[in-house]
Amino acid sequence: MTTPVLSVMNLVKRFKDFTAVQDVSFELDPGASLGIVGESGSGKTTTARILAGLEQATSGAVMFDGEKVAARSRQDRLKHARRLQMIFQDPYASFDPRLTIAESITEPLHLHKTGSDRPQERVAELLDQVGLSTRAGQSRPRDLSGGQRQRAAIARALAVEPRVLVLDEAVAALDVSIQAQILTLLDELRRETGISYVFVSHDLAVVRYITDSAIVMRHGRVVEHGPTEQLLRSPQHPYTRLLLDSIPSPGWDLDRVAEDRRALDSYGENAC
């Protein structure tokens, strides 16, 4: 039996009177890719931020290699950041506009003391790994295209050699052709390095391409989970069917969309 690299158990996150995440549990195996699917407000981004240590859970636990993730000290947070990195939807907002891309990638090398004895060589390796030139490394974020910035964000995340990448709508801001290039890159990196992904997205086509399994969230709860292809081909929960039915396609049946909406309304908020 393979020990999951990441285990999430009964995760709950409350903001005053609002519960954003409620009793969420799942596991991620080494080298696997898990999708978290749902519409805006479903709790998927809050879950991702808890995994990355950017939010603290109200209750429940996140385990890494069977050890509970702690965030009590700066050392704890650095340890977790070394093994799990997060990539955001808008890479421009996560870069310091005053720094070149190479300088931004160098920062985590020094912070985590990884490859800091040969930073220029390591940065060149990382840029090449994500399909960027050394010249791109000397550019500032505003000088790069959206796809190039996302490649740079991936390079920076890989700098500390994490075992897990959490990607929150990482291709949502890109046009379809650039999306395909980034997804192909991520797929190649996973096969080459054995890294694991948690891929947060509302786009079912993206989830189908990049993930092995998926969970579907609604109102902070997991309503369905399973192998991605099986889940998308034969959804069991009305909400999952509604997500699929809502995608315009040849033969799009609006009557079936309405039928699934009625089924969801009668299904009950807490049923999973």
Q: Supply angle C-alpha 175, 123, 28, rounded to 5.
A: 60
Task: Tell me what pLDDT residue 243 has.
Answer: 85
Torsion of CA 35, 36, 38, 41, to 10 degrees: -150
Tell me: pLDDT of 75 over 90.
Answer: no
Fold of the domain built from segment(s) 6-234: Rossmann fold (3.40.50)
Q: Given this model, what pLDDT does residue 258 score?
A: 60
Among 171-175, 193-197, 252-256, top mean pLDDT goes to: 193-197
pLDDT of 130 strictly over 90: yes
Condensed to tens digits (0 to 9), the pLDDT of residues 95-129 reads 999 999 999 999 998 888 776 678 889 999 999 99
Q: In Å, how far are 9, 26, 47, 131 from 61, measured between CA atoms? A: 5, 11, 12, 37
- Which two tokens mark 29? 């195996």
Measured between alpha carbons, how far is 47 from 36 in angstroms, rounded to an integer? 9
Between strands 213-218 and 221-227, the pairing is antiparallel
The arithmetic mean of pLDDT across residues 147-158, rounded, is 95
Instruction: Count other Cβ atoms within 10 Å, centred on residue 103.
Output: 16
Residue 271 confidence (pLDDT): 45
Q: Name the residue ranges covered by the structural domains of the chain.
A: 6-234, 235-272
Question: For residue range 175-222, what is the model confidence (pLDDT) as tens digits?
Answer: 888 999 999 999 999 999 999 999 999 888 889 999 999 999 999 999
Strand 196-201 and strand 164-168: the pairing is: parallel
Number of CB atoms found within 10 A of residue 127's CB:
21
Query: Can you tell me the distance from the alpha carbon of 225 to that of 28, in angstroms, rounded to the nearest whole number?
Result: 13
The CA distance from 165 to 213, in Å, is: 15
The pTM of the full predicted model, rounded to 2 decimals, is: 0.88
Residue 249: the pLDDT is 57
Query: Averaged over 135-147, what is the pLDDT?
Result: 94
The amino acid sitting at 267 is Y
Rounded to whole angstroms, the Cα distance separating 93 from 113 reads: 25
pLDDT of residue 247: 65
Predicted pLDDT of residue 158 = 94
Under the banding of pLDDT at 50, 70 and 90, the label for residue 27 is: very high
Give the per-residue pLDDT at 78: 86
Report the interhelical angle of 146-158 vs 101-112 (nearest 10°): 20
Task: With a cut of 50, say whether residue 91 has pLDDT above it.
Answer: yes
Q: What is the mean pLDDT of the chain?
A: 88
pLDDT for position 187: 94
Mean of the pLDDT values across residues 67-73?
79
